[in-house]
Amino acid sequence: MRMLTPGQSRIRRGPLGVRTVTAGCATSAYEAWGRVDARGRYFQMDLARRLAAGRLSELVGPMAVQVDRAQRRFPMSATADAAYAALPDDQRDLLDAYARGVNAARRRRPWPVEYVLLRARPRPWRPADSLLVMLSMYQQLALDEDGERTRQVLDATLPPAVAAFLRPRGDEYAAEPDFGAPVPVEELARVLAESADLPSRPVVDLAPTGASNCWAVGPSRTRDGRAILANDMHLGLGVPNVFHRVDVTYPEGRGAGFAVPGMPLVICGSNGRVAWGLANVPGDCTRLVPVGPDEPTTERAEVIGVRGAEPVRALFRDTADGTVLDDPLLGRPVATQWSALFPGGLNLAWSAMLAAGSVDEAVDVAHRHAGPPLAIVAVDADGHLAQTVAGRFHTRSAERLHEETVPPARLPLFRDPPSGVAVWTNDPPALAAGMDEVGANYPASYRRHRLAEVLTGRDDWDEAGLFALQRDSRGGFYDFYRDLAAGYVDALDPGPRAEVRAVVDGWDGDNGPDSVGPALFAEFRRYLQEELLARILRTCAAADERFRYAWRSPEPVLRRLLGERPAAIGAHFGGWDTFIAGQLGRVAADLRAAHGPLDRLRWRDFLTIPMNHPMGGTRLTRWLNLPPIVPDGGFESVAAFGPGRGPVQRLVVSPGAEPSALVQMPGGQSGSPLSPHYRDHHRRWRRTVPAALRPSGGW
């Protein structure tokens, strides 16, 4: 093959519409990368930058004004511009080259069909727009205003023992099991008694939390002595998919894997020497800081352009910490302090992953990354494994975040574990190893527990076996609720009793699409959680209108109360037996009314995830939307699905053995409904058929 000189690039189309970029230098590669992204995903890229900057209304009109106003309270555009100006020259050169490629493709006709339908013109792409896309991801992953409000309201309104009880660090499945603090019976009974006359309203954040799985097995655990990585990230599902596949090679670097259109970084993938994958880590990135009456503030006016209507003027009040919220906290004005907006909060250091030659070099890249806080697992061709966190983690107190960052030496790092298995699923592998320095409010740990259990049970793993494990639907998280329900079936009315008994006795512990049982147990848990906590938290709800209990893993709270059933607490619910049997009866009646006989209610009948295009709610629905996804797992399975959410990609790869690597994603490589590659990945997803990472082989 003819060698390319600096300034030259070659783009080749492969199977499923994946284009391979080869170039003579990094800037040429990124310029070609921009052309590829714009040809297939420009409308998606445009929406992402507009959403971040609060400029959707300019494209779609008045329907987006409230969304834009909510976004304008954060100076996202100014933050992205400042971050771009502060980048090192080599990183800025890459974004400049990428933008040149995007705009070269944008100028070509025909424009994406969405602009034709909207009768609009695609606007130029600025280099800083890629950082806006990164900020949008940061916001999805690491802005936790509800969790911060939960912390402050609990501490301000409840006895310390009760507030601490309601904020467990983990759960019984965690690497360091947390069965919760002892039930503070006396204090909790007093809270219930004193709030008995207050109104009760739903306060629990019931939506399942996001989920990502990233794990690796070392040479002692594989069939042929290689290290293999598996990664599947979970976000909102829709069309086009959040990710698409990339394959880029130039003299200083190379990589094949997945990227977010508009953000030229191989988020997860392999370069032939190192493979890396990511999971979200709930970084402690948010504070709601009280604004005193004498605190200096400045007024900021934002003009929101609205297509087909007059511009809308929005006023905001800023402090040194951040923008003052419309909704006070406990009656006091507060400003949102968010570390993404700090100087140095964004960079393109992740681009160096394409040149990493070992897990140690991958760890160094992760520690130089500035962007959303992430957990990374990396393996190299020599069989080494490493786990650490990526991003800038700020020192902090209960009151505020500080611009000082935690030095890399204090960040959690795990190398070559003796078990030969490294697992990260949003919850920490070990709290004692620096995780308190970087995060808080971690989600449930059942997925990590399940993966560790299965992975350490074999020493013959290969790519096919790990791909199958990504679809594991075991529902052991709900064993507790199945056992709890079993003790109360006889207390039900005769009508639903037989059906509930059949479900309880017949459940095989699986959350697969055809399983009968997961819907009943998941809803039973939801009803119990909502009713228990709504009453316990009446004082909080009365003190703060916006209060939501947004603690991500309240499981120790529920299991302590429902397992121990202190009489002094149960008295406020009419007695534990009456309460639990009543919730089981309510669940059975509601599910039966909505779905028919319980002993025929499959998981697929209860939950399917639509795959809709942003413009899919029109007469073009059948053309733009794709068939819905039938979940092959439950809320807390390894294959984790929830309303509107699920895996957006799957990757299994061993560096140096790319021809054996497997990938899968919903949707298609192209975002254009006119393309033959708009839906072809989706067909394979629904048939559970993976594709090759690099059909042409290794590098």
What pLDDT does 196 receive? 95
* pLDDT greater than 60 at residue 208: no
What pLDDT does 178 receive? 85
**How many CB atoms neighbour CB 568 within 10 A?**
14
Residue 28 near residue 96, CB atoms below 8 Å: no
CA 671 to chain centre: 21
Task: Please give the average per-residue pLDDT across 632-654, as a whole number.
Answer: 94
Closest to 542 in 3D by CA, of 288, 198, 204: 198
Task: Please give the average per-residue pLDDT across 416-440, as a whole number.
Answer: 84
Encode pLDDT of 164-203 as tens digits: 999 998 899 988 888 888 999 999 999 999 999 999 899 9
* pLDDT greater than 90 at residue 18: yes
Closest to 672 in 3D by CA, of 21, 123, 43, 13: 43
* pLDDT greater than 70 at residue 669: yes
- For β-strands 394-396 and 401-405, DSSP reports them as antiparallel
**Residue whose token pair is 């969405």:** 114
- For β-strands 650-653 and 298-304, DSSP reports them as unpaired
The band of 430, judged by pLDDT with boundaries at 50, 70 and 90, is confident
What pLDDT does 175 receive? 86
Cβ-based neighbours of 578, under 8 Å, separated by 6 or more: none
The band of 433, judged by pLDDT with boundaries at 50, 70 and 90, is low
* pLDDT greater than 70 at residue 640: yes
* pLDDT greater than 90 at residue 469: yes
What pLDDT does 527 receive? 96
Encode pLDDT of 221-271 as tens digits: 999 999 999 999 999 999 999 999 999 999 999 999 999 999 999 999 999
Q: What is the largest CA-CA distance in the chain?
A: 81
Task: Please give the average per-residue pLDDT across 405-411, as a whole number.
Answer: 92
DSSP 402-453: EEEE--GGGS-EEES-TTSEEEEBSB-S-GGGTHHHHB-S----HHHHHHHH
Distances (CA, A) of 328 to 94, 253, 543, 545, 546: 42, 50, 11, 9, 8
The share of the chain scoring above pLDDT 90, in percent, equals 88
* pLDDT greater than 90 at residue 428: no
Q: d(Cα 85, Cα 7) in Å, to the nearest integer?
A: 24
Q: Which phi and psi angles does 458 have, rounded to 5°?
A: -140, 155
Distances (CA, A) of 612 to 120, 159, 289, 616: 21, 46, 38, 6
Angle between helices 576-595 and 494-506 (to 10 degrees): 90
What pLDDT does 434 receive? 66
Encode pLDDT of 284-315 as tens digits: 999 999 999 999 999 999 999 999 999 999 99
Closest to 362 in 3D by CA, of 216, 469, 246: 216
One-letter amino acid of 49: R
Phi-psi category of residue 663: left, alpha or beta, with phi > 0 → left and psi -120 to 50 → alpha: beta
Residue 653 near residue 462, CB atoms below 8 Å: no
As given in the structure block, the two tokens for residue 281 are 């880590």
Q: Which phi and psi angles does 181 have, rounded to 5°?
A: -70, 155
* pLDDT greater than 60 at residue 209: no
Q: d(Cα 571, Cα 567) in Å, to the nearest integer?
A: 6
As given in the structure block, the two tokens for residue 307 are 């297509």
Encode pLDDT of 96-131 as tens digits: 999 999 999 999 878 888 998 899 999 999 999 999
What pLDDT does 219 receive? 98
Q: d(Cα 94, Cα 265) in Å, to the nearest integer?
A: 10
Q: d(Cα 572, Cα 567) in Å, to the nearest integer?
A: 9
What pLDDT does 217 receive? 98
Residue 176 near residue 170, CB atoms below 8 Å: yes
The band of 429, judged by pLDDT with boundaries at 50, 70 and 90, is confident
What pLDDT does 206 receive? 61
* pLDDT greater than 70 at residue 1: no
Q: d(Cα 173, Cα 179) in Å, to the nearest integer?
A: 9
